[in-house]
Amino acid sequence: MRLSVKAMAFAVGLTWGGGVAFVALIHLAFPAYGTSYLAFVSSIYPGFHGASSFGDALLGTVYGLIDGAGGGCIFAWLYNLVAEPVAAPSQQG
């Protein structure tokens, strides 16, 4: 069975980007929420500073979408590469 590289990239991108957006937007309303997570994410994505504004939350979301899509694409490609079935010997007699 092969994985769709496009579908995996889309699904993981939406999941990771949505997760960053979800935490960032809640953090804007309740500043104590998700500070450790946002500090971790901001240490990876340049220009993202822990969702101190809506624009910053949007930047983190875009980074998450791109990062997740790239990771999902690489995962599906590697899976398809490793999971290729080995051709069975011919059964002709």
State mean pLDDT over 1-23. 95
Which pLDDT score, from 0 to 100, does residue 50 have? 81
What single string gives the DSSP state of each residue in 26-47?
HHHHSTTTTHHHHHHHHHHSTT
Burial class (CB in 10 A: 0-12, 13-18, 19+), 71: middle
Distance of CA 69 to the CA centre of its chain: 5
* pLDDT over 90 at 84, yes or no: no
First to last CA, the chain: 29
* pLDDT over 80 at 45, yes or no: yes
Smallest Cα–Cα separation from 38: which of 13, 55, 20, 26? 20
The phi and psi torsions of 71 (rounded to 5 degrees) equal: -65, -40
